[in-house]
Structure formats: structure tokens, C-alpha cells
Structure 1
Amino acid sequence: MTTSTTSLSAASLPTPSSSAMSLLTEPADTRGRLAALLARWLPDQRWFAGRDNKITSLSVVAATEVTPGCFHLLVRVEHRGEPDCVHYQLLLGASTDVPPRLRGHVIGEVEGPTGRGLLVYDAVHDQRATVLLLDRIRRGGTMGNLRFESFPRTGVPSNLAPRVLDVEQSNTSIVYGDRLILKLFRRVQPGINPDLEVPTVLARHGYAQGLAPTAWFHSFAPFFATLGVVQPYLADATDGWTLARDSAQSPLGRAEFIEEARGLGRATAALHVALSESFPVTAAPADHTVRLADAMTNRLRHAASLVPALRAYVPALNAVFAEFAQAGTDLPLQRVHGDLHLGQVLRAGGDWHIVDFEGEPAKPLTERRGDHSPVGDVAGMLRSFDYAAHIGDSPRPEWAEHTRATFCGGYAEVGRFDPRGIAVVLRAHEADRAVYEVVYEAGHRPDWLTVPMAAVARLCRTL
């Protein structure tokens, strides 16, 4: 990606010390080179949301030195054609030399205060920096524009060896001694993050299948925002995606996963019940399904403009959404998970644990913290079963069908509705999710496009 112009506003910076000062205040051309380095580096990161649009401006809006040679940044990014800016959280190191284990994480070089080159690198991979970061969270208090807090009596142990999880996600997770996990929210929005808010409230409610936060930190300038959350780490856990994928690819997969899928359905229903008892619940307005169906139809129209293969299914999908609009009032609206799939559930000690309550990071925080139909979570999990069945050399659609039915049966045992009894509503939510997946796969993983396209064809046939 080529960056046309970048800007780094000195007026917006705090006054950092030592290496951070050399990197961010003097001389002015150093600031420009740092901005240019970051503008080239950011689009290659898994958690960066604006790969498709050129960066037109990048500025540092807050900087705090965490330890000599390592500093925390909030950067403001503007994209061509986008009216809103986006903020990202970075942990950067600066040194005249870096050890071999960090050389693969070097972003580039800028001139230091003595004229020597400073290597700038992604410090989440620097064990020294991440150990000190957890220690700072453990001790609490304020540093620069950052505030560190923890729940009383929980305690955060010290001297735990860190390692960065090498998984595809929209944030960065650091595991400490197989006891704790720190999630750094890379894309930052003003306000409390649901991944801190929801597990905290659920823990107070007595919900046992979540992971209650132990500690966290946030910014209070230039705005309040949750930056990171520390939670217990389940070292013996296996994620639902791995279990389902292995089951789908096994000749005996249908039999061995049945109880796990039923238990996951029950766990999902128990989550929705706990959320409805912990947060306010509102009745869906009389025109809710009409407005939601209109939104689904508009998303379909946009998706079809981007992915030609989808256009042949537009009439049938429009009929799916129209039938939903005529179905009448939807279920009561409540807090939900917001991004539920097999990668967000863990199996440990014979139980399912539901994690990652952040929701879709690209959506506004007010929307992620709002009330929605729990059917959306159910549809997300059903779509995830479909993916597990179709990734590999031998697709297993019959495995997906059986597992989906088992999950819904488990949900009905505990939940306040039976997904199988609201087929029209569930089909519309599934179709809307599949349309989203079509756009995502076409842009990011073209080899996987056949998975959501097969789901679109199936959902159209159910009319």
C-alpha cells in the first residue's frame, strides 16, 4: 500500500521522557518518519481494519512511557473516502539494537537524539516489556494517560513468563505462565468495552461459564476507553472450532460430537438467560422486524454489488427477508454475545466456557452494547458448524445438519425459546450472516467463498 500523506501533530502529544521523548518530540523530521513507518506497517497487521482504503493521515494523540525504551501509543488514523477516524493502541519499543528474537518485529528506523539510528519495533513481542506491563497493571494506579485497576482480593501474580498467542483475531492476546491472559484491544473506541463490562456483570450474577476479569487498564485522555483486560487462562482448554473441525473430519465425528453440541446449546441458552437477568430487557417495537428486514435487504444489495456470484440468489434472499418482515414481533431484545461462533467457546473440565464478549470490533461501541435478538447468536453458531463441516478435502453437510439440530435441541432444553420453532426468524438471521460471510471471504479468503455460497443456496431452497 502506498501512503500519500501523513501528519503527526506535536501539539497533541504529551511530554514523554528518555527514549520516548527522543522518538516523539525532537526533531520534527523524526516524528514524520515515525508516522510514515506506522502508516506502512499498520495495514499489514491482522487487527487493522482499513486495509482496503489508503491512509491519508496518521497522528499520535497520546503517548506514555511504560518503561525506558518502551512506550504506549494511541494513534488516530484517517482513510480516504471514510468520514470517521479510527484509533489504534500500540506498544512500541525503540533501541539502537534489538536481539535476534525481535528482529522480525522491527517496524523501521528513525534518527535518535544523538544522530544514531533507533530501531522501532512491536513491543508486544518483547518479554521484558510485557512482563513490566503486567506488573504495572498488578500494582494499579496512574501512569501518563493510563489508569491500571484490579478487583479487590483477586490478585495478579508476578514473575509470570509471557507469550503472544499466534492466532487470527482482531486483538492481541498475551498469556502469562499459563495462568492469566491479557487481551489488548487494538482498535479502540471511547467507552467501556463489553469484554470488560459483560463478564464482570455475569460474574456478579453467578454465571459460572464465563471468565471473570481479574484486572484491566484504560485511558482517560484524550478520551476514556478500555485498553486491556486480564482474565484467568484455561491452559487445558480446547476451543470449539478445533473440536468441531476434528469431529467433522472424522468418520465417527457424528457420534462423538453429539453431546458436546447439545451441551454447547445448553450453555448458549444459559448465557442468554443470565444476560436477560443481569441487564434490562426490552420488548421489540411493533415495526422491529420490518426495520430489521429492510436493513438485511440493504446489506444484501450492497453485497451483491461487490460479489457477482451472489446476484443470482438476490430474488430468493429478498423473499427470505420479506417473509421475516411479515412474521410479526421478534423476540424480546436484550444484551447478547454479539459475535458468537466456535472460536469463542472453550471446552475444559467437562464444561463449555463462553469468552470474548467484545462483539464485532468494526461496529460502533454503542451498537455492540445495545439490545439485540438472541437469535443472532444462535445463527452465528449454526453458521460456524457449517464452516467446520466444509473446511477440508471432504465436506460433511450431513454432519453440519445433524450437529445444528442437536445444538438447537440443547438450547431448547434451557432457553426461553426453541430455535426450531421460529424457523422463519432463524432463517433470516442465518441468511444475513451468510451474506456478510460472502463479502468477507471474497475480499480476504477467496478459497473459502464456496462455504457461505453453499449456505446461501441451501437457505434459498428452504423457502
Structure 2
Amino acid sequence: MTQLEDLLAAWVPRQRWFAGKGLPVEALRIESAHTVLDRSDSGGPELRILVVAVSQRGETARYQVLLGLRPGTTLDADLAHAAMGVCAAPGRGSGPGSATVVAYDAAHDAELTSHLLARIAADDGAGPVGFRRIGGAPVRTGLRSIAMTAEQSNTTLVFGEEYVLKIFRRLWPGKNPDLELTTELAGSRHVAPAHGWIEAGVRADGAVPEQRGTGPAPAEGADPRPRPGPAVPTTLAMLQRYLRSATDGWVLAATSVRDLYGSPGAAPEEAGGDFSGEAARLGAATASVHRALARALPTDVLAPDDVRLLAAAMERRLDLAVVDVPELRPYAAPLRAAFQAFADLDDPLPVQRVHGDYHLGQVVRTDTGWILLDFEGEPAAPVEERRRLSSPLRDVAGMLRSFDYAARHQLIGHIDEEALAGPARAWAQLNRDAFSAGYEDSGGVAPEKHQVVLRAFEYDKAVYEVLYEARNRPAWLRVPLDSIAALAAG
């Protein structure tokens, strides 16, 4: 009979949040399994939190799976889309008389996810999984959840119109920066407050000691792979306030671009959906959050030698990207020149905690203004790397790249693509300028006075985008490539 790990080996790599797309899966194992609910004795469902270790190219990545199990071989119609398959009931043997269950993604089962909310409300820290509530305010229970379907690296559940529970899929040992920074920014009108979180111990791979000098060599046949290290308390999910009046920043920007494309001959500031005022207000909100982070958490200044190391890391990423995506090769020279100009700076570089993965999809517009979301940084990077101090211009560069994306992605396959290329560039430039002005006017670093730094971060982000699109959305690859070409020409 099929085993659960076999189902997971086929199901996990197909998920939107799986970071190893395009690479063969060498092995998958369930590293830990935590039972949240078990009603199997009465023929009811089970809910387990799994930490699944996936090996690719000799490296191990860990993912969280909310596993639902129900007896039998089929699911009700409303859950059928979440099915992984039929397998032997895990933990009950695999003989001829073993039970058969349907395994599925429990994030889509409101009956089961309600127990996650209830345990957070109870501030239930007993057992290997901790459910924590923040502050003295009660958490309302009895709400049904809906899993959001938008593309993202995590899974978000909306409970009524009260809460959102972000389930972190790619797991790195330690406290997730999203939880850390959101709690540090409590009280900011540009951040949705956190109400609680879920955590459990997750193992990290310990490095195999490097053999040096006259020390003994590894025994013949010894396993050279990293060995699991101790379990570290790790954030599995975070509960935040649901923003009822929120509209996604990407949606607002895309609507503005559509209005422009539907108004032949109109300048971006004259089209019905002019976005520049909102871009300026978003720049001001970004500066406000950066100032709050600098007040709440440590800051530092990078010496020129450290800046050179940062620039060298950018060049290494470029070298790897050129190998993986040959279409990037014609632009390697101007990219490398920008990184070298960054390395040649003699001025110290102020650094602090930043958002780390900032773009229009990470902000929402509400009745009270712009709200910044998702402070976890780049999910593919280890937590220690995401917690590293950086220039706030890194976030500015990410948002400027996002304006380019908003303008250019709608040109793919458009019947008037050639005619609209000019308006697209004008829209992006108008909103880039408005955002930068709003940011500077509200106390942020003046982007125009730090063009060498800003351009290096923009190019570095564009290189990341090229790799991402090549692996996940090949039809979109031309978006960052066209932007790189335009930036190089400018």
C-alpha cells in the first residue's frame, strides 16, 4: 500500500510555495510530525503539522505541511481539490489489515483549521507545538477560514473578517523576521498588529567538520553529508488583524496601467487612474516604517571594506545567474560595472533592519493609508541572513523594480505592445519619481543623492528576478530583462 512519504514526494514539488522547482528531488522524509487533532477512533479526521525535509543537489530544505487525514478513499467535493492521495494510515502499520486514509492539504479544511485558531486563543504552550497569544486582548474563535489563492510563497488563511493566519511553508530554524519585526513595530499605523503565533522545534543541518592539517581523515565510507543539528524553536505561523478595507498595491497599480493603456495618447498623469499620488504616499509610509525600525532595533555603519564584500556577493550572484540563464549574458557587463562602482565607494554605508523583500504585492491601501505586510524578507534565504542589517535603499530599490514590473507585465502578448512600450516606461518613471520624492520628503535617505548605491541594489534585485522568472514563469522572463536593458541604456 502507498505510504504517506510517497504521496508527499509527488505532491510537495508541485506546490506554488516549493522553492526547488526545476531541480530533481533526491529524497524526501518526514522529519517530525505533531498531532493537533485526532478523532480517528470515532471515524473522524486528523490534523497533523509535518516538517518535511527535501534533499536536492545535496542540500536539504524544510517545509511545513498541514496534513489532513480522513478514513476511506475519497473526500467530499469541497475538499477534493486538496487531495494528495490514498495511503496507509501513518503510524498504524502497513499490513493487509491496515487502515486506508485520504491525505490532503488541511489548509483548505475549515473544520480542522478552526482548531489552530482556538489553540492560539487559549495561549496553549504545552507540548512540542506552542500556540501563543500576544497581549491581553482575547482572540475570537468559532470563525471559519478560507485559504487565499493568490500566488505566494506561504499560505494565508482568512478567518471571517477578523484575522489572517500566515502559514510559513519554507522553514528556517529560528524566529521568523515577520513575527519579530511586526511585534517591534506594534503601534505603527502602517503595520497590521500581530495577535499570536505558532512555533515548534525544527532541526538545522550541522556542518561536517572540515579536515585540516594533520588531523584524522574521515573514515572510509563515512557519510560526508551534513548531520542534523539540535532542534531550534521556529515560527510556523503568525496571526494578524484582517484589514477589511484593504486593496492590494499591485492590483491598484495594475488598474492604473490598464487605464493608461486604454487612453491612447494620454500622459500617465492625465489618465483616469493616475497612481503617482498614491506612490508618493507609499514612499512616505515606507520612510515612516524605516524610521521606526531604526528606533526600535540596532543600526550600524558599513566601512568601505564591508561594502566591497557586499558588492562582491552581488557579482557572485550575477555569475551564477548568467550560467543558469544565458539570456542575461548580453547585460552582464553593465551589471558588473554597477556593482564595481558600488565597491569603489569610499563613504561608509548606514545600515539597519529593513523589510527585505519589498514590492507592490507586500503593501495594501486601506481607508487610513498604506499598510506594509510580510516582513519575513526573502523566504529562500536563511533567517540569519534575513536578519542582517542592510541599507534602507535596498527596500527603495525593490519598490522601484516593482513599478517597472507593474508597467511592463501587461505588455506580454498585448496586441499594441510596440506602441505601448513608451507609455509603459513613462508610467514607471512617473511613479518611481513620486515614490522617491515621498520617501525623501518624509525623512528617508534621498535616493537621488545615492544613485550608485540605489542602482547596485536595483540591479541585484533584477538579477534575482531573472532567476525567479526563468524557474517559475518563463513567459515573464522578458520583464526583468527589458528593465535591465532600459536601466543600462539610461
TM more than 0.5: yes
Matched, 1:72 2:32: no
Report the Cα distance in structure 2 between the residues aligned to 1:34 and 1:208, rounded to whole angstroms.
Answer: 45
Work out whether residues 199 and 237 of structure 2, in 8 Å CA contact, stay in contact via their aligned partners in 1: yes
Work out whether residues 248 and 364 of structure 2, in 8 Å CA contact, stay in contact via their aligned partners in 1: yes
Q: CA deviation at 1:327?
A: 2.2
Aligned to 2:65: 90
The partner residue of 1:212 within 172, 182, 193 is 193
Report the Cα distance in structure 2 between the residues aligned to 1:192 and 1:93, rounded to whole angstroms.
Answer: 26
Aligned to 1:403: 431
Q: What does the per-residue CA deviation read over 1:192-215, in whole Å, with 9 as the maximum and x for residues that have no partner?
A: 111111010111xx3221012101
Q: CA deviation at 1:174?
A: 0.2
TM-score for both structures, normalised by structure 2? 0.84
Report the Cα distance in structure 2 between the residues aligned to 1:280 and 1:115, rounded to whole angstroms.
Answer: 56
Matched, 1:340 2:340: no
Report the Cα distance in structure 2 between the residues aligned to 1:341 and 1:398, rounded to whole angstroms.
Answer: 19
The partner residue of 2:76 within 74, 78, 99 is 99
Aligned to 2:182: 199
Query: Which stretch shows the higher mean deviation, 411-420 or 355-364?
Result: 411-420
Q: What does the per-residue CA deviation read over 1:335-376, in whole Å, with 9 as the maximum and x for residues that have no partner?
A: 000000000001001400001001111101001111111111
Matched, 1:413 2:403: no
Query: Which stretch shows the higher mean deviation, 285-294 or 222-231?
Result: 285-294
Aligned to 2:220: none
Work out whether residues 346 and 352 of structure 1, in 8 Å CA contact, stay in contact via their aligned partners in 2: yes
Tell me, what secondary structure is at the counterpart of 1:360?
Answer: coil
Q: CA deviation at 1:50?
A: 1.5
Equivalenced residue count is 429
Report the Cα distance in structure 1 between the residues aligned to 2:240 and 2:378, rounded to whole angstroms.
Answer: 20
Report the Cα distance in structure 1 between the residues aligned to 2:299 and 2:158, rounded to whole angstroms.
Answer: 35
Report the Cα distance in structure 2 between the residues aligned to 1:173 and 1:190, rounded to whole angstroms.
Answer: 20
Report the Cα distance in structure 2 between the residues aligned to 1:48 and 1:80, rounded to whole angstroms.
Answer: 12
Aligned to 2:216: none
Q: CA deviation at 1:98?
A: 2.1
Report the Cα distance in structure 2 between the residues aligned to 1:223 and 1:39, rounded to whole angstroms.
Answer: 25
The partner residue of 1:359 within 362, 365, 377 is 377
Report the Cα distance in structure 1 between the residues aligned to 2:33 and 2:100, rounded to whole angstroms.
Answer: 21
Work out whether residues 32 and 52 of structure 2, in 8 Å CA contact, stay in contact via their aligned partners in 1: no
Work out whether residues 303 and 349 of structure 2, in 8 Å CA contact, stay in contact via their aligned partners in 1: no
Calculate the aligned-residue CA RMSD, in Å: 1.7
Query: Which stretch shows the higher mean deviation, 313-322 or 332-341?
Result: 313-322
Q: CA deviation at 1:287?
A: 1.1
Work out whether residues 148 and 156 of structure 2, in 8 Å CA contact, stay in contact via their aligned partners in 1: yes
Work out whether residues 300 and 435 of structure 1, in 8 Å CA contact, stay in contact via their aligned partners in 2: yes
Query: Which stretch shows the higher mean deviation, 393-402 or 173-182?
Result: 393-402
Q: Cα gap change, 1:383/1:262 in structure 2, threshold over 3 Å: closer, same or farther? A: same
Query: Which stretch shows the higher mean deviation, 154-163 or 322-331?
Result: 322-331
TM-score for both structures, normalised by structure 1? 0.89
Counterpart code for 1:47: W
Aligned to 2:257: 248
Counterpart code for 2:193: A
Work out whether residues 31 and 53 of structure 2, in 8 Å CA contact, stay in contact via their aligned partners in 1: no
Counterpart code for 2:188: Y
Counterpart code for 1:240: G
Report the Cα distance in structure 2 between the residues aligned to 1:177 and 1:428, rounded to whole angstroms.
Answer: 43
Report the Cα distance in structure 2 between the residues aligned to 1:330 and 1:445, rounded to whole angstroms.
Answer: 38
Work out whether residues 288 and 329 of structure 1, in 8 Å CA contact, stay in contact via their aligned partners in 2: no
Tell me, what secondary structure is at the counterpart of 2:487?
Answer: helix
Matched, 1:140 2:123: yes
Tell me, what secondary structure is at the counterpart of 2:347?
Answer: coil
Aligned to 1:226: 235
Counterpart code for 1:457: A
Q: CA deviation at 1:116?
A: 4.2
Aligned to 2:459: 431
Tell me, what secondary structure is at the counterpart of 2:28?
Answer: strand
Report the Cα distance in structure 2 between the residues aligned to 1:61 and 1:307, rounded to whole angstroms.
Answer: 34
Report the Cα distance in structure 1 between the residues aligned to 2:430 and 2:128, rounded to whole angstroms.
Answer: 52
The partner residue of 2:312 within 249, 270, 294 is 294
Matched, 1:178 2:154: no
Identical counterparts, % of pairs: 41
Aligned to 2:20: 50
Query: Which stretch shows the higher mean deviation, 314-323 or 404-413?
Result: 314-323
Aligned to 1:10: none
Query: Which stretch shows the higher mean deviation, 357-366 or 249-258?
Result: 249-258
Counterpart code for 1:459: L
